[in-house]
Amino acid sequence: MDATSLCTRCNKETAVSEQAADKIRAMGGPSIPVGMCMRCAVADPVLREEFIRFATQRRQEFVKRMRAAVARPLELIDDFVARFRDR
């Protein structure tokens, strides 16, 4: 489906593209049917549970990365400064 197609359920929101659905699936998220918008996908009872699981998993990964970053602040600062030196 192209980026301008409307949702097949509500006909109001723009449907999720195949590329976006593939990207979400590649990150471990739920498999969103082609032609459905995010609002309808989250409202779907089956997909809602998968979205909650996916969000919880992503949140835990984020917290883990942030804790690791706080545990090694000097290394993080060095990496940050190195990015600007390489430009």
Question: According to the model, what pLDDT value does residue 87 have?
Answer: 65
Give pLDDT tens digits for 6-31.
999 999 999 999 999 999 999 888 99
> Rounded to two decimals, what is the model's pTM?
0.64
Q: Is the pLDDT of residue 71 over 80?
A: no
* Of 4-13, 51-60, 73-82, the least confident: 73-82
Domain boundaries, the chain: 18-85
Question: According to the model, what pLDDT value does residue 67 have?
Answer: 87
Q: Is the pLDDT of residue 40 over 70?
A: yes
Mean pLDDT estimate for the chain: 87
Exposure string for 49-65, b = 16+ CB within 10 A, e = fewer:
ebbeebeeeeeeeeeee
